[in-house]
Amino acid sequence: MTKRQAPRWKELAPLLRPAPRTGTRADRAMQRLVNVEDLRARAKRRTPRAVFDYVDGAAEGEISIGRSRDLFRDLEFVPRILRDVSNCNPSTTILGQPSSYPFAFAPTGFTRMMHHEGEVAVAKVAQRNGIPFALSTMGTTTPEDLAAAVPDADRWFQLYVWRDREFSINLVERAKESGYRTLILSVDMPVGGARLRDVRNGFAIPPHLTLRTFLEGATHPNWWINFLTTEPLSFATLNALTGTVADTADQLFDPSLNFEDLMWLREQWEGPIVVKGIQNVDDARRVVDLGASGVVLSNHGGRQLDRSPVPLRLIRPTVKAIGDDAEVYIDGGIMNGADVVAAVALGARACFVGRAYLYGLMAGGERGVERMVELFAADVVRTMQLLGVTSITELTPELVRLPNEH
Ligand SMILES: Cc1cc2nc3c(=O)[nH]c(=O)nc-3n(C[C@H](O)[C@H](O)[C@H](O)COP(=O)(O)O)c2cc1C
């Protein structure tokens, strides 16, 4: 029988330690969010439903995005033991430029709608942490304003080629003149994907007030106040828009874009060109032969063709086909730093992250994006150490086993 005694204050007192109070209340609220799922839950509470769904959603049955996340969940890490992992360095280079971690911020449109701090907040976090930031053609901050706000960030400009070629060239010129280093050409949107949540929500860009959105606004007053009291959403590159994002894409983007256009673009831009939205090895090889310095294996986070290949599975065959001729990146469904480590071990030079930072932004503006990076950075380092490696170059395919590939 366990012998019991009455609790004595002398023994209890040292156990009663209030949690240390550091930072502001908002900082402490962020510290309590311990993964991207937590950031997502807070984002959902703080943002009107149609806006949250625009970010969170994907195309058709949302199968591709689910498969990407499932594969990250189902892979196995194969750690090495008894390695000295006391000093671990997660830094790498991306197209020759140092990057503190092997991940970067993917281009996302309409970012100032998710949170009024918008692209500038995200890019400041990128600059502070030494990782690349890609500004979308559909950005809500002009290339010039963003460059002025983050002069030292590694800035990439993402291009959709427009039906109006003069307009496309003008965009490229603006990016060049404001010091963007890399052009990232997105090729997976010849037409807009069928994003059913947007259709169901009647989601238009910019959001307009219907009775439903007005009533919903009452449950997200801060978002609406910020939205209505900051500079109106005009886009870096376009003005009067109506309809869903897919409608906009259909009106503006050129569905006749082809490999010859890539050669044309090559002549317009002296710096590196990265082609984003590659979904098979042959296309990767072909764009590299035409001068691309990098390819992003991507199905646009499942927002375009549903049931398209899972990018993680394409890394190894693509790396095999293009060798050292270009860098290989992936994106889609990356929710933590361990996902990044797995992709890098399989051969990716780096990963692009979309929704994860947008959840951070919607959850808490710049501070929320910073929290996302903090969480990813800690994951990357810890996962490397637990795998028994201390540098990015030691991450090799033997450390990861994909299901059905033994
Ligand atoms: C809200 C949102 C807007 C996006 N806008 C663009 C865009 O303007 N241009 C582009 O090339 N990709 C765009 N993407 C795709 C991302 O660059 C990236 O491929 C995708 O988000 C990766 O998947 P993840 O969100 O699961 O990380 C967007 C993605 C989201 C979620």
Q: How far is the CA of 401 from the centre of ligand 1 (A)?
A: 27
Domain positions in the chain: 33-75+96-380
Mean pLDDT, residues 63-85 taken together: 98
- 88 C-alpha to ligand 1 centroid (Å): 30
For residues 89, 356, 178, 91, the Cα torsion angle rounded to the nearest 10 degrees is 10
pLDDT classification of 309: cutoffs 50, 70, 90: very high
pLDDT, tens only, 8-48: 888 888 777 777 778 898 899 999 999 999 999 999 999 99
CA-nearest residue for atom 14, ligand 1, is 108
Q: How confident is the model at residue 225 (pLDDT cuts 50, 70, 90)?
A: confident
Handedness of CA 288, 291, 294, 296 (dihedral sign): negative
* Active-site annotation, residues: 300
CATH of 33-75+96-380, one of 3.40.50.300, 1.10.3260.10, 2.40.50.100, 3.20.20.70: 3.20.20.70
Measure 246 CA to ligand 1 centroid, in angstroms. 13
Q: Which amino acid is at 305?
A: L
Contact indicator for 39, 363 with CB cutoff of 8 Å: yes
Rounded Cα distance between 339 and 343, Å, is 6
SS3 letters across 245-283: HHHHHHHHECCCCCHHHHHHHHHHCCCCEEEEEECCHHH
Q: Which pLDDT does position 232 carry in this prediction?
A: 77
- Ligand 1, pocket-test mutation among 303, 351, 361, most atoms within 8 A of CB: 303
Which residue from 53, 41, 66 is spatially nearest to 301, judged by alpha carbons? 66
pLDDT band at 239 (very low <50, low <70, confident <90, very high): low
For the chain, give the mean pLDDT: 93
Task: DSSP letter for 14, please.
Answer: G
**Among 54, 62, 108, 184, which residue has the most ligand 1 atoms within 8 Å of its CB, making it the best to mutate?**
108
Residue with tokens 């199905």: 299
Whether 330 shows a pLDDT value over 90: the answer reads yes
> Residue 294 C-alpha to ligand 1 middle, in angstroms?
18
Per-residue pLDDT at 242: 65
Average pLDDT over residues 160-179: 93
What are the C-alpha distances in Å from 311 to residues 121, 226, 258, 353?
Answer: 28, 37, 22, 13
- Which tens digit of pLDDT belongs to each residue from 227-238? 888 887 766 556
108 lines ligand 1 (CB under 6 A): yes
The tokens describing 29, both together, are: 């609220």
Residue 322, both tokens: 């293009």
Determine which helix (DSSP H) or strand (DSSP E) holds 135, and give its type and residue range. Answer: strand 133-135
| Closest ligand 1 atom, residue 300 Cα | 19
Comparing 102-106, 168-172, 318-322, the range with the smallest average pLDDT is 168-172
- Nearest atom in ligand 1 to the alpha carbon of residue 298 is 19
Q: Which of 152-161, 229-238, 283-292, 340-349 has the weakest average pLDDT? A: 229-238
What is the pLDDT, as a whole number, of residue 230? 84
CA distance linking residue 219 with residue 152, whole number of Å: 39
372-399: pLDDT as tens digits: 999 999 999 999 999 999 999 999 999 9
pLDDT-derived band of residue 109, with 50, 70 and 90 as boundaries? very high
Q: Which of 58-62, 130-134, 166-170 has the lowest mean pLDDT?
A: 166-170
DSSP string for residues in 294-328: EEEE--GGGTSSTTPPPHHHHHHHHHHHHGGGSEE
Is the CB of residue 56 below 6 angstroms from any atom belonging to ligand 1?
no
Model confidence at 306: pLDDT above 70 = yes
CA distance 302 to 323: 27
Whether residue 387 contacts residue 77, with contact meaning beta carbons closer than 8 Å, is answered with yes
106 lines ligand 1 (CB under 6 A): yes
Burial-class residue 115 by CB neighbours within 10 Å (0-12, 13-18, 19+): buried
Local structure of residue 355 (DSSP, 8 states)? H
